[in-house]
C-alpha cells in the first residue's frame, strides 16, 4: 500500500518533482514517527513539515552508501525533534524563572512608591544641604545629624551659644525656603533644638 511505509529504495532528489515523490512515499511514516512522540496535533503537523523542509535542504547531501533513504529521513526527524524539545525545555525554564518572580500587589506597589518618594525627598534634601554655606552646614550637622544640643555644638565649634542658634535657625529656614513640602517632613526630624 503506497504511503504507509517509508521508502527504502527511492532516494530523495533535490528537484521539486523528485522530492514530491519522496514526500508522498514517506509522509505517513514520518507523521507516525512524530505522532508517537507528541500528543498535540498542531505540534505533530509542524514538526512533520519541519522534517521535510530539513530533508529538502539536505537532499543534495544524501549518500546512498551510508544507508537507506528511510534511515536517513529518520535521522533528520530525530534531529528536528531533539531541537524542538531542547527549545521547549529552554522555554519552560524561562517561563519558570518568570513565574518564580512574585507579581506585586497594590499594597506592595504603594510601599515601593512611598520608598521611592522618600528617597527622592532625601536626595533633594541632601542637595539643599550641600548648597548651604559651610558655617550653616557645620552647625546643622552637629545638631541634627550628630545629636548635639546647640550648647554642645557651640562648645565644639568654639562659638557662643547664640551664634550657633542663629546659624541653626538660618540653616533650617534656608532648607524650608527651597521646598516646604519636603522640609516640613525633614524639619520634624530636625526638631532637636530646644
Is residue 16 predicted with pLDDT exceeding 50? yes
Categorize the per-residue pLDDT at 184 as very low, low, confident or very high, splitting at 50, 70 and 90: very low
d(CA 147, CA 156): 13
CB atoms within 10 A of CB 75: 14
Cβ density class 131-154: b for 16+ within 10 Å, e for less:
ebeeebbbbbebbbeeebebeebb
Q: Are 31 and 92 in contact (CB under 8 A)?
A: no
Is residue 51 predicted with pLDDT exceeding 90? yes
Is residue 126 predicted with pLDDT exceeding 70? yes
d(CA 18, CA 62): 13
**Per-residue pLDDT at 181:** 47
Is residue 101 predicted with pLDDT exceeding 90? no
Categorize the per-residue pLDDT at 149 as very low, low, confident or very high, splitting at 50, 70 and 90: very high
Amino acid at each position: 500500500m503506497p504511503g504507509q511505509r517509508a521508502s527504502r529504495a527511492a532516494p530523495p532528489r533535490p528537484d521539486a518533482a523528485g522530492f514530491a515523490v519522496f514526500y508522498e512515499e514517506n509522509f505517513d511514516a514520518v507523521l507516525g514517527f512524530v505522532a508517537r512522540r507528541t500528543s498535540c496535533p498542531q505540534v505533530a503537523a509542524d514538526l512533520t513539515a519541519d522534517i521535510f523542509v530539513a530533508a529538502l535542504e539536505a537532499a543534495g547531501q544524501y549518500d546512498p552508501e551510508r544507508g537507506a533513504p528511510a534511515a536517513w529521513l529518520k535521522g533528520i526527524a530525530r534531529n528536528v525533534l531533539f531541537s524542538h524539545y531542547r527549545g521547549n525545555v529552554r522555554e519552560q525554564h524561562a517561563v519558570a524563572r518568570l513565574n518564580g518572580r512574585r507579581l506585586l500587589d497594590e499594597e506592595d506597589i504603594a510601599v515601593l512608591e512611598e520608598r521611592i518618594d522618600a528617597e527622592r525627598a532625601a536626595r533633594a534634601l541632601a542637595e539643599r544641604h550641600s548648597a548651604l554655606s559651610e558655617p550653616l552646614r557645620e552647625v546643622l550637622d552637629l545638631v541634627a545629624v550628630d545629636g548635639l544640643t546647640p550648647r554642645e555644638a557651640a562648645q565644639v565649634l568654639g562659638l557662643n551659644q547664640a551664634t550657633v542658634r542663629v546659624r541653626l535657625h538660618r540653616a533650617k529656614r534656608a532648607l524650608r525656603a527651597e521646598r516646604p513640602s519636603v522640609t516640613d517632613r525633614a524639619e520634624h526630624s530636625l526638631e532637636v533644638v530646644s
